Each structure stands twice: as C-alpha cells, then as structure tokens.
Structure 1
Amino acid sequence: MSKPLSTDEVMNLPASIQLETACNALGISQATGYRLVKANAFPCPVVKAGRAIRVPKTGLLRVLGLDAAAPDTSATGA
C-alpha cells in the first residue's frame, strides 16, 4: 500500500480522482477499495465510466472531514 496522502495533498487534488488515489487518501488498500466499490459500500460517491472508476473530490473531502471551501493558506503561511 502506498503512503497515505497528507491534508495538503488531498486539498490540491483535481475535481475527480482515480480510485487508487482516493484509497491512498483514505489509508486503505486498493484491493479493499475495489471490494467496497463492488459491494456499493465505498465511503464516498464513485462514478463508473466503463472500466474507469472516478471519485469526486467533494465526496472524498466530506468523508475526511475537510472543508472544500476553506481558503488555501499554504502559500501565505497564515
């Protein structure tokens, strides 16, 4: 399993991410992520497009308890 993503890394993700990236953000293995998607039990919404599985960033942020509307203070150091 890859190293879990930091809060800053999660906040800088694009609007839609691959399932593997969402699994890293959640700290779960890809195998567990795919198993949860198959059982319709992944902790946030997923979008299936053919074989591709995408996770909207807003749902991931909600599950992680992060506010998508929070201002980015990393550049100002505030």
Structure 2
Amino acid sequence: MKNNQADHHLPEPTKAELEILQVLWEFGPATVRFVNDKLNENREVNYTSTLKQMQILTEKGILKRDESKMKHIYIPVEAE
C-alpha cells in the first residue's frame, strides 16, 4: 500500500518559506501577525514580506488559509 503523502508532491520551500513553516509547525495554525512577530524575535522582517511569502505558500499548496473568521489563519498542509 502506498503512502498518500508520498504521492502528493509539493514544491520545495525556499529558506524564507521554511522559516515560516517552522513557526507554524511549532505553534500550530496562526495569523500572519503572529508568524511575523515570531520571525522578528531572530531578525527584522517586514510584515508585508511575511504576508506575501505566506500568500505564495498558499498558492503553492504548502499552506491553506482558513477564511471563516475575521482574521485569516494559515495552516501547514503537511506535518514537519
């Protein structure tokens, strides 16, 4: 029996995208603001840069966005 995750190949994230994924894997689904605040603990990152990267990750199918609440919550599609 094949593993479904192995059949579903996602594009390889960039270094910056991987940093975002690591925050989400550690803390769970989160807003752009939360992720940006966590990234800023290590180095200065503009909010708009984080937002754009998370939008790109969503377009790539690596993240999904929960739009059911006023603030959009981003969730990794696959575990670490």
Same fold (TM over 0.5): no
Please, what TM-score do these two structures have when normalized by structure 2? 0.36
Relative to its length, the structure with more helix (as a share) is: 2
Q: Which structure has more RCO (C-alpha within 8 Å, separation ≥ 6)?
A: 2
> When the two structures are superposed, what TM-score results if normalisation uses the length of structure 1?
0.36
Q: Point out the structure with the larger strand share.
A: 1
